[in-house]
Structure 1
Amino acid sequence: MPPPRPTANQDDIPSANKQAKLLGKIGKSITSARSITKIVEDAYDNVNALMDAAVFSIGIYDEDTERLVFRGVTEKGKALPEFSYSVKENDQLAVWCFKNKKNVVINDHAKEYKKYVSKIKRPTGGRSPESIIYLPLKSRRKALGVITVQSFVPNTYSKYHINVLKSIAIYASIALENSRLYEDMEKSIQRRTEAVQVSQDNIKVLSEIGRQLTSTLDFETIFNKLHKNVNQLMSADVFGVRIYHRGRNTIEYKFEMEKGKRYATMEVSMDDDNNYSVWCIKNKKEIFINENLKEHKKYTKKIVVPDGEMPHSVIFYPMKFGRKVVGVITVQSFHKNAYTKYDLDILKTLSSYTAIALENARIYESMEDKVKERTKELQAKNQELEKLSIVASETDNYVIISDRNDKIEWVNAGFTRITGYQLKNILGLTAAEVLRGTDTGQSDALAIARSIKTKKPFTSEILNYRKDGTPLWLHLNVTPILNKKKEVVRYVSLGSDITGLKLSEEEISNQNAIIAKKNQNITSSIRYAKRIQEAILPLKSTLSEHFKKSFILYKPKDIVSGDFCWFSSVVSQGRKLNLIAAVDCTGHGVPGAFMSLIGNSLLNDIVNTRREYSPDKILEQMHKGILRSLHKGGDSPDGMEIALCVIDDKAKVIEFAGAGRSLVSIQNGKLKTVRGSLLPLGMGLKATARTLKRRNRFEKTKISFKSNDTFYLYSDGYCDQFGGKHGQKFMTSKFIDLLKGIQDKTMRQQEKVLDETMEDWKGKLPQLDDILVIGIMV
């Protein structure tokens, strides 16, 4: 039997209070749950104290499958298997409740079901109930699912039970929303953690690659290690290391791999202007392309692929040793937009390591050839040591001949030149006794001792000391001379002074530290420049003083920006005029910031000093001013795009003129784009004063407005940003649709929506350009 209904009698007040407390306890338990199963369990454990809940469940709407999924269904204390209904099954009471967002209350199933559905559906599991309540679960007007209690007894539920279940439904909705927010937060934390871990792993990989490369002295080994590791860091369908031969004026494709296949060595002339490697070496600059067919003209007139298929994304980076370019390193992908600036930085680091390794290998290879040549002569003519000593005395390297116990018998003149010791002073001593000092590496010394015992030739590097006490790094090649019984009778040691090479390695480390410090100083200077730029350009608060309903979305790509907002309020012929402009200078960062200062200065001079208030004439004078400032009447790639409005509140008129930028107006719900001149200021035609007289470059448009009409000025940074699932541009059409769709929001809310939309669109891709959007409600 169902519990008796509460009445308004005085005697029932304690019972009502008790039930209210129980509801509060249930609410606290449910809203603190973090999973669907726990929410259902907590609700079911308590709901039977308030009503007959022979069957209890919560159905959650899955947007991906468009189904109501019931988990943790309980019938008389027994858990039933999970089941679900498609939201297209219109004869299910749960579906009716969810789609109509209305309550379902039945106390006699056979008689009352037709109020909601056309026919009776048998339950997915368990018995058929007689009394049923379904209530929709909602959060912020969004349907989340349904909650249900069912009884096998007719006429079980009253309005009281419905109100109790409504309270539980509210708690369940809150708990479900909290659960989803909690899951989203966990996923976000996991994504960020994974990104940090990937970055740390890449740093470790790069460090290990650098260590391996710079300690390797063989060309083939260097390349194989590079190819093996670079695929861990980025897409490398094609990977190559190309050597520049200055004397032959050619580039040798020494190591070239495409999809795991090694290509034969080939050479191209440095006169081939359609070769990316040639451009990279000549200009000592990197090539960064993500769409080869569109971007190749920055570097070559046409695309030439010496072998294999054409890549869509490429990076070329010059390999430099000191100021000398020794070659180029490249990675290429057959997919578009395969690379980011992060990949470019990785390849830059690899190019430095590779250049050092190649130079070391070249030096070592040259020295090895000499050592092998000398060693063959000694082994072939071990009975003619005196003759060989004549040859040895002429070499720049040193030669030591010692007995079976490594006691010195003879040294050449090269040894004396390198160490300062003469034979008469060291005869009968070992090289270790003569040359080693306090900082000689014990591990290096032990390694040499072990190698001597093998009776095989070996090479090593070790820190020794000259006679005057100065450090001396030696590369040595020791060959034991054996008799027919394989017994050592002598040792011949050849070597060279590599102190300069070691100092070069130390110098490289010091230069890296200096570069890091300079980068820090440059960044500090740029940040100070940002403060100067912000001090010169108008604040957001200045605009809001004149337009209470307005916003400025300002997102520089770098520390300083080439986009800027300009504002001035003047009085002309007794009328107050507000002038506002959105300006996009060529470039971004420091070059763009310098251009912004020129633009700001020109606007202030023309409007505030010369008192010109007609927007088309202001743009004409700015155009001339830029030409005078930058290139004195000729064409130049430097200039700026601008959208300029002169607002007369009293006359309810806006006068607009633009150069490369447009004005968007929304009046009475209708959106209109007012286009400016196609040519930016300071660019395009050689617009001297005489040219402007022949042709009206800038046109003025008048627009009448009413209160609460909105107007937008913007640079191209928002529309040109790459992002989304396919890494495409946002585009102007999408931006216009976005503006139209946010007209029901306040201006501050509009700014927030624009900002969040751009961040979601951009994702992990880098910001392409400065972003500026100005919104005004008049």
Structure 2
Amino acid sequence: MDWQRPGLRIVFISLLVLFAGVVAALVRSQWTEVHEDAPLGSGGILDARDWSPQHDGLLDLAGEWEFYWQEFVVPSHVPGRPGPDDPRPEAVIPQPGLWNHLDIPGSWYSPESYATLRLRLQIDDSWPETLGIYILEVSNSLRMFINGTLVAQAGEPGVTKAETLHKLRPRLGEYYRDGATELDIVLQIANYIDREGGRKRPLYVGTPEDVRGMQRSTIAYEGIIGGALLIIGLYNLVLFLVRREDRLPLAKLSAILPRHEVIFRPRDVVGGDFYWAAPGQNPGSGWIAVGDCTGHGVPGALMVMLSTSLLARCVQSVNDSPDPGRVLGELHRGVRAAMPRSKTHDGLDIGLLYYEPGTVRFAGAHLGLFVLRASGSLPVEYLPGSRKGAGYARTPIDYAFETARLQLQPDDCVYLTSDGLLDQNGGERGFPFGKRRFIRLLETLRGQPLPQQREQILGALDEYRGENPQRDDIVVLGFQSP
């Protein structure tokens, strides 16, 4: 049996993921249940007086929390009765959630900063005196207070990067409420290493026994899924090394478009950005993609392997009528199905095009397409991708990615780039490189051969970055129409 055939590879990966999912679900079912009809916070208050941790299980402290931007609030008053020196919240925001995704008119919140989240939890006397706390993954540092008492901490939040110590792991805590029926819960969060700031996953409260059960369940569940992804990664790595034609997609890209250049700079040894190509229906036609998966290093690389395997299957299903938007829809649903439910913020941004001589069909998920016309009288064209990413829980499962079509003239240049280049900070004020600066740079490259364009882009990026560290993986792919 030829395990290098794409069809058998897909069957193997699908069966492995299915097996891991079934085993993980069985493991998860052995521990305490979290109810979907639990009460939610509203206006910074969560009324849980009708909830019984002893009978109903763990309570997810989801809903609306008070949000204090660039402030570390420590309550020093009677819970529920704001003191005279208490700051007022800037907004009330849904949790779990990321502050750089907030859509508040006139405001923008950088992921690299600090903030406080606050919730007042109302309970009754039947609740246990000792409460267990379980904070799932927070890609930041944090401190958690209940009624002014520190109950959990990960790292050391600070108002600057130098003052902050990050520890990216779940935390357990316990709190003796001493008869209190209103709990003032405060989370101080700081982030200077992740491109997303805030709380990504649930925060549970309940009996200490249920909290420890949830911890064991989560470790087993994610260990099984992680092991399955590791096996998939090792399997693909072996094929990657054995099959010379699969070592890099450059050979496939060259068969489609002889004139092309690629900039590939992972932040670490390996990363979550990728470029990819596959042949189309006819000679000289094919699929080309640039993607940006969540994560860096090995976790990002494993997401790349999963995403590119699914992408290969998706394009095969529509090769009779190439439609990049349809492919992205299938890819989105495939990633959602393959990832565990707890990975609500895992997915990818991707720009995908189908090229045939003189024509490009393009669809993007958070990534766009740049076109530099050979004619000096035309400005750089930018085709924005969809505002939704692929595979993320916040993207509706039936979301329709739109396909745009454009005509190419001889010597027109087309560019796909991940956000690593556009988001790289630098310059005198530390601002991102940005789309406008990239467009101005491309306009200076008109008429130059692609190898020289590549060197000019690298030089401009390095000069702008200066002494700042590389923030993210970077991929730029450019090609010239015959």
TM-score normalised per structure 2: 0.51
Give the 3-state SS of the residue equivalent to 1:718 in structure 2.
Answer: helix
Q: 1:533 to 1:745 in 2, by over 3 A?
A: farther
- Out of 574, 577, 582, the position equivalent to 2:290 is 582
Alignment correspondent of 1:543: 253
Task: Spell out, residue by residue over 1:709-752, the C-alpha distance to the aligned partner (whole angstroms, 9 max, x if none).
Answer: 11001111101011112221111110111111112321111111
1:713 is matched with 416
The answer to whether the 8 A contact 2:347-2:389 is kept is yes
Mapped pair 1:639 → 2:363: no
Q: Give the whole-Å Cα distance in 1 for the aligned partners of 2:455 and 2:79.
A: 52
The Cα offsets for residues 62-90 of structure 1, whole Å up to 9 and x where unpaired, read as xxxxxxxxxxxxxxxxxxxxxxxxxxxxx
Deviation per residue, 1:305-355 (Å, 9 max, x gap): xxxxxxxxxx9799xxxxx9999867656xxxxx46xx767x99xxxxxxx
Structure number with the higher helix fraction is 1
Match of 2:10 in 1: none
- Give, as a single letter, the amino acid of the residue that structure 1 aligns with 2:451: R
Q: How many Å apart are 1:684 and its aligned residue?
A: 5.8
Do the aligned partners of residues 687 and 631 (structure 1) sit closer, same or farther apart at CA in structure 2, a change above 3 Å counting? Answer: farther
Shift of 1:300: 2.0
Is 1:533–1:560's contact at 8 Å kept on the other side of the alignment? no
CA contact (8 A) 1:529 1:560 kept: no
Which amino acid is 1:301 matched to?
L
Q: Quote the Cα distance in structure 1 between the aligned partners of 2:418 and 2:411.
A: 23
After TM superposition, list the pairs within 5 Å mapping 1:2-401 onto structure 2. Answer: 294-295=110-111, 300-301=116-117, 332=159, 339=161
- Structural mapping, 1:334-733, within 5 Å: 339=161, 538-571=248-281, 576-608=284-316, 611=319, 613-631=322-340, 636-649=344-357, 652-667=358-373, 668-669=375-376, 670=378, 671-683=380-392, 685=394, 687-688=396-397, 691-692=398-399, 697-733=400-436
Q: Cα deviation per residue 1:591-626 (whole Å; 9 max; x = unaligned)?
A: 221211111001111224664632111111111111
Tell me how far apart the structure 2 counterparts of residues 728 and 268 of structure 1 sit (CA, whole Å).
35
Q: Quickly say closer, same or farther: Cα 1:528–1:628, change in 2 above 3 A.
A: closer
Distance change in 2, residues 1:774/1:730 (3 Å): same
Over 3 Å counting, the alpha-carbon distance change for 1:537 and 1:726 in structure 2 is: farther
Distance 2:435 2:338 in 1: 32
The Cα shift of 1:590 comes to 2.1
Asked whether the 8 Å contact 1:537–1:600 carries over to 2, the reply is no
Match for 1:764: what amino acid?
Answer: E
CA distance in 2, matches of 1:712, 1:327: 41
- 1:554 positional shift: 0.7
Residue 680 to residue 532, structure 1, CA distance change in 2 (3 Å): farther
**d(CA) in 1 for partners of 2:78, 2:238:** 47
Q: 2:236 touches 2:305 (CA, 8 Å); kept in 1?
A: no
Question: How much has 1:563 moved relative to structure 2?
Answer: 0.7
The structural deviation recorded for 1:545 is: 4.3
Q: In 2, distance between residues paired with 1:327 and 1:665?
A: 46
CA distance in 2, matches of 1:317, 1:659: 31
2:309 is matched by which residue type in structure 1?
A: S
Q: Distance in 1 between matches of 2:255 and 2:164?
A: 45
Deviation digits for residues 546-565 of structure 1, max 9, x if unmatched?
A: 32221011110111111100
Deviations along 1:22-71, one digit per CA (max 9) or x if unpaired, are xxxxxxxxxxxxxxxxxxxxxxxxxxxxxxxxxxxxxxxxxxxxxxxxxx
Write the deviation string for residues 224-281 of structure 1: whole angstroms up to 9, x where unpaired.
xxxxxxxxxxxxxxxxxxxxxxxxxxxxxxxxxxxxxxxxxxx977999999xxxxxx
- SS of match in other structure, 2:117: coil
1:752 pairs with 2:420: no
Over residues 431-477 of structure 1, what are the superposed CA-to-partner deviations in whole Å (9 max), with x where a residue is unaligned? xxxxxxxxxxxxxxxxxxxxxxxxxxxxxxxxxxxxxxxxxxxxxxx
Shift of residue 580, structure 1, vs aligned partner: 0.3
| Counterpart Cα distance in 1 of 2:78 and 2:461 | 45
Question: Compared with structure 1, are the counterparts of its residues 588 and 329 closer, same or farther at alpha carbon in structure 2 (3 Å cutoff)?
Answer: closer
**Which structure has the larger Rg over C-alpha atoms?**
1
What value does the CA root-mean-square deviation take over the aligned residues? Answer: 4.2
How far is the alpha carbon of 1:645 from its aligned partner? 1.1
Letter in 2 for 1:710: C
The separation in 2 between residues aligned to 1:543 and 1:620, in whole angstroms, is 23
| Rounded Cα–Cα distance in structure 1 between residues aligned with 2:330 and 2:382 | 25
Deviations 1:371-429 (A, max 9, x none): xxxxxxxxxxxxxxxxxxxxxxxxxxxxxxxxxxxxxxxxxxxxxxxxxxxxxxxxxxx
One-letter amino acid of the counterpart of residue 659, structure 1: A
- Contact 1:641-1:661 within 8 A present in 2 as well: yes
After superposition, the C-alpha distances for 1:634-678 in whole angstroms (9 at most, x for unaligned) are 9921111111111112xx211111111111112223211112211
For the residue of structure 1 that corresponds to 2:387, the secondary structure is: coil
- Please say if residues 287 and 355 of structure 2, whose CA atoms lie closer than 8 Å, have aligned partners that are also in contact: yes
* TM-superposed deviation, 1:575: 5.9
- The amino acid across from 1:657 in the alignment is A
Is residue 252–residue 279 contact of structure 2 (8 Å, CA) maintained in 1?
no
Query: Which structure exhibits the higher relative contact order, with contacts defined as CA atoms closer than 8 Å and separated by 6 or more residues?
Result: 2
Query: Which whole-Å CA distance do the structure 2 matches of 1:644 and 1:715 have between them?
Result: 12
Change (3 A) 1:595 1:299: farther
Structure 1 pair 316–565 and aligned structure 2 pair: CA distance change class (3 A):
closer
CA contact (8 A) 2:418 2:475 kept: yes
Cα separation, 1, equivalents of 2:384 and 2:431: 24
Structure 1 residues not aligned, in runs of 5+: 1-266, 276-291, 303-314, 319-323, 334-338, 349-526
Distance of aligned partners of 1:268 and 1:752 in 2 relative to their CA distance in 1, 3 Å threshold: same
Counterpart for residue 199 of structure 1: none
